[in-house]
Amino acid sequence: MKKTISLILATFCLTISYAQEESSTENTGENFSLEGALAMFKNAKSLEEFEKLINEDNNNVNNLDLNNDGEIDYITVNDIKDGDTHVIVLSTFLGENEKQDIATIGIEKTGTEEAQLQIIGDENLYAENTIVEPFDVNEKAENSKGPNNFEIKTTRVIVNVWFWPSVRFLYAPSYVVWVSPYRWGFYPKWWKPWKPYRHNVFYGRCAPHRVYYHRTTTHRVVVARKVYSPRRNSSTLVVHNRKGTTLVHKNKRGKVKAVRVKKTRPVRARSNGRR
């Protein structure tokens, strides 16, 4: 009888352990869908609207809780403009003085009516060289040595994003560089944080975003990377693994200690016509 009970307990513990592994992710950034962010960016008519779209639960883009307070983090959007290059920086505040960049959308104008973009996950949160871009397929008929006279060969091509509403907005003559008005403890009135989903649930929810956007290891927006590099925001140290992300500080002697960010009651922005 004791052996049977021990076997049942062991099996139960293994099941829980396996379920926890399945519900977690090796890199914490995978709880923010880069593909989903591009899908929202493509449809947005302004950066203000884009910020709203990525922070809405039903759009299945954000599942991050970097400060481990049990609620989804608010993602801010800021633009860095340098000539014909834009870097859209997605960030979150982990405390009043702690800000962590999540990803950047680099956009470069390559012709009169041509532009290309890529979104890159921050190195603190994603695996090295995590790059996502829109893609299209070009089909070409070629002679075949097989039983058929020809075969269709498909190749992925770089997408010209010039006609995306969001891109046209950025390059409009009247455009004013967008800086999010929100910060730690001060959020838009419409925003209601929710509890994070298990990662396997979230991964399934954002699956439609992966249809039109794919990952690559090739950097195409090289100017944007140079523009952004000296302006990157990073918390003192973000440790990312299957146990989640921990904010850590180093003291003057180099010793490291974990810090729990104190949760504050959010302040809602007053209504000013902004949705």
Do residues 197 and 63 lie in contact, with contact meaning Cβ atoms separated by under 8 Å?
yes
Q: What is the pLDDT of residue 18?
A: 38
Which amino acid, 118? Q
Which pLDDT band, with edges at 50, 70 and 90, does 13 fall under? Answer: very low
Instruction: Find the range with the poorest average confidence among 15-19, 200-204, 253-257.
Output: 15-19
pLDDT of 262 above 90? no
Which pLDDT band, with edges at 50, 70 and 90, does 89 fall under? Answer: very high
Q: What is the pLDDT of residues 159-177, one digit of tens each?
A: 999 999 999 999 999 999 9
Q: Which residue has the higher pLDDT, 262 or 89?
A: 89
Instruction: Find the range with the poorest average confidence among 44-48, 64-68, 84-88, 148-152.
Output: 148-152
Q: What is the pLDDT of residue 96?
A: 85
Do residues 73 and 65 lie in contact, with contact meaning Cβ atoms separated by under 8 Å?
yes
Q: What is the pLDDT of residues 95-141, one digit of tens each?
A: 888 899 999 999 999 999 999 999 999 998 999 999 999 987 665 55
pLDDT of 57 above 80? yes
Q: What is the pLDDT of residue 20?
A: 38
**Separation CA 176–CA 195 (nearest Å):** 35
Q: Which two tokens stand for residue 57?
A: 């639960």
- What is the average per-residue pLDDT within 62-83? 94
Q: What is the pLDDT of residues 196-234, one digit of tens each?
A: 999 999 999 999 999 999 999 999 999 999 999 999 998
Q: What are the sequence ranges of the domains in the chain?
A: 2-268
**Separation CA 142–CA 151 (nearest Å):** 5
How confident is the prediction for the chain on average, in pLDDT? 81
Q: What is the 3-state secondary structure (H, E, C) of 109-122?
A: EEECCEEEEEEEEC
